């Protein structure tokens, strides 16, 4: 699996500035259960991320920063096929990135990321899946 994602939150802490995460990762996907219209997947991804935004400092002030470092995610999802080429995918991941803590030091952080996607498979037909 290759994944590139962008997440953004606006007006963080009422500062007028936004926070964003750009991640790019790849890794294996495992399919522990498959049925004709239903697929369960587990994945482990590694790569990098750029996290930018507002940092609340221990002094009560706000600062703006960005960190570009390694990132990883692990999680899983379910996919329900409702036509020969389309499916609804729901997934959740624990995403590990790094950003500044309240002391201004770069430290790791985990976030929960959930997604709902409409997936189109080019040339795939329900009856021909393995």
**What are 21-53's pLDDT values in tens digits?**
999 999 999 999 998 889 999 999 999 999 998
In angstroms, what CA-CA distances link 57 with 19, 60, 63, 101, 103? 15, 5, 7, 8, 6
Identify the CA nearest to 17 among candidates 62, 81, 78. Answer: 62
* Across 62-69, average pLDDT: 90
Structure-token pair, residue 17 = 């500035």
Residue 116 pLDDT more than 60? yes
Print the domain residue range for 114: 2-128
Domain count along the chain:
1
Coil, helix or strand for 90?
strand
Stated pTM of the model: 0.76
Structure-token pair, residue 18 = 């936004």
Residue 130 pLDDT more than 70? no
Structure-token pair, residue 98 = 């790094």
């Amino acid at each position: 699996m290759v994944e590139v994602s962008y997440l953004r939150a606006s007006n963080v802490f009422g500062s007028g500035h936004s926070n964003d995460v750009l991640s790019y990762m790849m890794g294996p996907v495992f399919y522990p259960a498959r049925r004709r219209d239903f697929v369960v997947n587990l994945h482990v991804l590694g790569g990098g991320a750029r996290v930018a935004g507002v940092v609340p400092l221990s002094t009560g002030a706000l600062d703006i920063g960005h960190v570009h470092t390694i990132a990883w995610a692990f999680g899983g999802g379910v996919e329900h096929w409702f036509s020969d080429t389309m499916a609804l995918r729901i997934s959740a991941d624990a995403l590990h990135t790094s950003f500044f803590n309240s002391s201004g030091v770069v430290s790791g952080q985990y976030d929960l990321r959930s997604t709902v996607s409409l997936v189109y498979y080019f040339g795939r037909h329900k009856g021909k899946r393995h």
